[in-house]
């Protein structure tokens, strides 16, 4: 199964961006914060003192959380009851923040999260997904924004709902929660070493998403190539210009993506616009000094695979930036996040 991890502080845009990616890639979106919130609902209902770890340990034994999907929306079932509608309150958020630091709570929920990722392709968001829950996720994004930007978003949201609120109080609360998340002993919030950092302070959701897309494209061959242009002449002398404007599968002439398989091999994806036949060319990294063009030439003469979109899944997953750098060098447009 393939997994994408998105971590970062509250208000950075994780869930909105994760849902967009989920739609584009057909991966199931898993909101892990909702699980900590469901635990919190149980603690609040049963008047468990969030400061008393042994009481929490006992209570956790009585909690059963299951995840279901209705019309593509995640539902959280707490001891047989759908509590999804109760999760986003201020009180639940505070309780979740106080209790998510305990080992008993985290152990139970991490097991649930890993179980979901074993069954299906997931895009999972939270605080510790790339570092602890799914360290082998093929793509990891650390999404952040300044506390000012996040407080402003929350302030505007509440104002729009007609609620009275103070920007300074919201910002203070955000900074306090960041501190707690980042300084707890178990699985603190931090960027995984192999995660890409995306700062959305000066971006809206669409801009954030469009920054992430090329990265996913490189990692998985997601069908979108708006940031790529690459000229390639194969050994038969045919020239190709790979350039894409593909968002919906119908408007491009060529799309291209790179999926990194391991430190020696990368797969290169080419698709032609006929909606039926898509072709994948597996490019082999020949040696330390070979360029992307060398890899493509080798691939052109040795491996061809016909595939059909959208069932396409590149044959393997892994993490390295080997071909990534070749691609960046070759395509003319910088790959920046």
Binding site for ligand DC (CB under 6 A): 10, 32-33, 36-37, 93, 96-97, 100, 126-128, 181
Residue 13 or 266 with smaller CB distance to ligand DC: 13
Q: Return the structure tokens found at 55.
A: 């009481």
Residue 94 or 313 with smaller CB distance to ligand DC: 94
CB of 155 to ligand DC, least distance (A): 17
CB of 36 to ligand DC, least distance (A): 3
What three-state secondary structure class fits 62? coil
Let me know: does 213 contact 203? Beta carbons within 8 Å.
no
Residue 96 or 216 with smaller CB distance to ligand DC: 96
CB of 115 to ligand DC, least distance (A): 15
Number of C-alpha atoms within 13 angstroms, CB side, residue 168?
A: 0
Secondary structure of 67-105 in HEC code, one letter for each residue:
EEEECCEEEEEECCEECHHHCCCHHHHHHHHHHCCCHHH
Per the document, the length of the chain is 337
CB of 199 to ligand DC, least distance (A): 18
| H or E element, residue 112 | helix 103-119
Tokens 């539902």 belong to residue:
75
CB of 124 to ligand DC, least distance (A): 8
CB of 33 to ligand DC, least distance (A): 2
CB of 49 to ligand DC, least distance (A): 17
CA-nearest of 33, 28, 32 to 3 is 28
247-to-23, 209, 259 alpha-carbon distances in Å: 12, 13, 18
Residue 178 or 270 with smaller CB distance to ligand DC: 178
Residue 145 or 314 with smaller CB distance to ligand DC: 145
CB of 114 to ligand DC, least distance (A): 12
The CB-nearest residue to ligand DC is 33
Residue 184 or 303 with smaller CB distance to ligand DC: 184
Residue 143 or 269 with smaller CB distance to ligand DC: 143
186, exposed or middle or buried, with CB in 10 Å at 0-12, 13-18, 19+?
middle
| Beta-bridge partners for 73 | 70
CB of 70 to ligand DC, least distance (A): 19
The helix-helix angle for 103-119 and 53-60 (nearest 10°) equals 30
Q: Return the structure tokens found at 32.
A: 């892990």
Residue 36 or 242 with smaller CB distance to ligand DC: 36
CA-nearest of 47, 44, 48, 64 to 56 is 48
Q: Return the structure tokens found at 31.
A: 């909101």
Residue 100 or 225 with smaller CB distance to ligand DC: 100
What phi and psi, each to the nearest 5 degrees, are found at residue 106?
-65, -40
The DSSP 8-state label assigned to residue 133 in this structure reads I
CA-nearest of 304, 140, 293 to 218 is 140
């Amino acid at each position: 199964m393939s997994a994408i991890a998105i971590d970062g502080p509250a208000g950075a845009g994780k869930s909105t961006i994760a849902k967009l990616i989920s739609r584009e890639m057909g991966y199931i979106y898993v909101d892990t914060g909702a699980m900590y919130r469901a635990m919190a609902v149980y603690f609040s209902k049963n008047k468990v003192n969030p400061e008393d770890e042994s009481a929490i340990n006992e209570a956790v034994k009585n909690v059963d959380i299951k995840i279901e999907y209705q019309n593509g929306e995640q539902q959280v079932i707490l001891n047989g009851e759908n509590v999804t509608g109760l999760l986003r309150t201020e009180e639940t958020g505070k309780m979740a923040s106080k209790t998510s630091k305990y080992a008993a709570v985290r152990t139970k929920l991490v097991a649930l999260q890993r179980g979901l990722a074993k069954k299906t392709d997931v895009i999972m968001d939270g605080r510790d997904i790339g570092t602890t829950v799914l360290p082998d996720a093929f793509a990891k994004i650390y999404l952040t924004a300044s506390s000012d930007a996040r407080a402003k978003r929350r302030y505007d949201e509440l104002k729009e709902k007609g609620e009275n609120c103070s920007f300074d109080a919201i910002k203070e609360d955000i900074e306090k929660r960041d501190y707690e998340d980042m300084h707890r002993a178990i699985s603190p919030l931090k960027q995984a070493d192999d995660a890409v950092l995306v700062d959305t302070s000066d971006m809206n959701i669409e801009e954030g998403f469009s920054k992430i897309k090329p990265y996913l494209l490189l990692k998985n061959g997601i069908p979108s190539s708006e940031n790529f242009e690459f000229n390639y002449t194969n050994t038969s002398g045919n020239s190709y210009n790979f350039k894409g404007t593909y968002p919906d599968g119908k408007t491009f002439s060529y799309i291209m993506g790179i999926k990194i398989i391991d430190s020696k091999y990368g797969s290169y994806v080419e698709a032609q616009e006929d909606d039926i036949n898509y072709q994948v060319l597996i490019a082999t990294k020949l040696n330390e000094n070979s360029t992307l063009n060398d890899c493509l030439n080798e691939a052109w003469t040795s491996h061809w695979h016909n595939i059909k979109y959208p069932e396409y899944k590149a044959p393997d997953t892994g993490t390295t930036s080997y071909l990534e750098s070749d691609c960046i060098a070759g395509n003319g447009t910088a790959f920046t996040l």
